[in-house]
């Protein structure tokens, strides 16, 4: 919710929210949480579904951090140039959950969005880019919004890792948890979406519905339908939180 002056009066308007999923199936799962049908709008470099009545704009931003960042940046820039900037970006979709902390079908909301593989491998182990003197490896969503999202949806708050490679072995899963003891989930876009949002000073949230355990590759164990249903349910509960969220409450 944003306070604005209109003809000498102070009025409030809902924060404009952009939800960035990886693929159309995730975007459509979010859209199903809203009663009114969303309408498609083409932008340079991105296509949006607009949920009417102050609902969010939905973007299928692509798989992986690079394409997700590029598409999110295009949508943010288009909105800013049109004079209607977004006040919040939500990275959302399915993800891997670290067992036993985030079981299949459960939800995770990121209190930290961390790039798991952005750095350098050395003889003494992995060094994040920050240790090399560059950039950032973690974005932190507004804590009050994380708490409100967790309360409304039942999502567990914790670190969500972003990687360009899906973990496929127990060894890699254990290594990631050793490096990131608060990690609950892994996905491929959150950090890219967060980098695009941070570049324009827009806060970010990440919500994942767990479709598979992080660990040995086992495609038969994926529960994509269950995770997409959990995503729809979560956005039904999250919508009023987003509508009433005050960006100054950090």
Ligand X SMILES: O=C(O)c1cccc(C(=O)CC[C@H]2O[C@@H](n3cnc4c(=O)[nH]cnc43)[C@H](O)[C@@H]2O)c1
What residues make contact with ligand X under the rule CB under 6 A?
22, 63, 93-96, 166-168, 186-189, 211-212, 214, 217, 219
Q: What is the smallest separation between the CB atom of 212 and ligand X, expressed in angstroms?
A: 5
* Residues 105/196, Cβ–Cβ less than 8 Å: no
Count of Cβ atoms closer than 10 Å to residue 44 Cβ: 8
Query: Nearest residue by C-beta to ligand X?
Result: 96
Residue among 56 and 213 whose Cβ is closer to ligand X: 213
Q: What is the smallest separation between the CB atom of 228 and ligand X, expressed in angstroms?
A: 11
* Residues 207/153, Cβ–Cβ less than 8 Å: yes
Residue among 15 and 91 whose Cβ is closer to ligand X: 91
Q: How far apart are CA 76 and CA 20, in angstroms?
A: 11
Q: What is the smallest separation between the CB atom of 54 and ligand X, expressed in angstroms?
A: 27
Q: What is the smallest separation between the CB atom of 187 and ligand X, expressed in angstroms?
A: 3
* Residues 138/113, Cβ–Cβ less than 8 Å: yes
Query: What tokens appear for 102 in the block?
Result: 């985030």
Q: Say which DSSP state 87 is in.
A: S
Helix, strand, coil % over all residues of the chain, rounded to 5: 35, 30, 35
- The sign of the torsion formed by the CA atoms of 70, 16, 138, 217 equals negative
Residue among 79 and 234 whose Cβ is closer to ligand X: 234
Residue among 69 and 79 whose Cβ is closer to ligand X: 69
Nearest-CA neighbor of 209 among 96, 62, 63, 88? 96
* Residues 155/31, Cβ–Cβ less than 8 Å: no
Q: What is the smallest separation between the CB atom of 197 and ligand X, expressed in angstroms?
A: 17
Residue among 1 and 63 whose Cβ is closer to ligand X: 63
Q: What is the smallest separation between the CB atom of 102 and ligand X, expressed in angstroms?
A: 11
Query: What tokens appear for 239 in the block?
Result: 């919508």
Residue among 25 and 47 whose Cβ is closer to ligand X: 25
């Amino acid at each position: 919710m944003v306070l604005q002056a209109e003809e000498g009066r102070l009025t409030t308007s809902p924060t404009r929210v952009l939800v960035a999923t990886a693929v159309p199936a995730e975007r459509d799962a979010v859209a199903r949480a809203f009663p009114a049908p969303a309408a498609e709008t083409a932008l340079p470099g991105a296509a949006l579904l607009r949920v009417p009545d102050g609902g969010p704009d939905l973007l299928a931003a692509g798989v992986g951090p690079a394409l997700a960042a590029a598409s999110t940046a295009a949508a943010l820039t288009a909105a800013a140039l049109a004079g209607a900037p977004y006040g919040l970006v939500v990275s959302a979709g399915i993800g891997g959950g670290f067992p036993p902390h985030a079981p299949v079908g459960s939800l995770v909301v990121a209190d930290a969005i961390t790039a798991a593989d952005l750095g350098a491998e050395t003889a003494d182990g992995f060094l994040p880019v920050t240790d090399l003197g560059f950039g950032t490896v973690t974005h932190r969503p507004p804590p009050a919004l994380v708490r409100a999202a967790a309360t409304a949806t039942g999502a567990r708050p914790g670190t969500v890792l972003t990687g360009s490679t899906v973990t496929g072995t127990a060894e890699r899963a254990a290594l990631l948890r050793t490096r990131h003891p608060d990690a609950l989930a892994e996905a491929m876009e959150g950090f890219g979406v967060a980098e695009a949002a941070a570049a324009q000073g827009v806060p970010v949230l990440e919500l994942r519905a767990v479709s598979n355990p992080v660990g040995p590759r086992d495609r038969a164990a994926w529960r994509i339908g269950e995770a997409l249903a959990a995503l729809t349910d979560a956005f039904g509960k999250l919508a009023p939180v987003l509508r009433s969220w005050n960006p100054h409450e950090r």
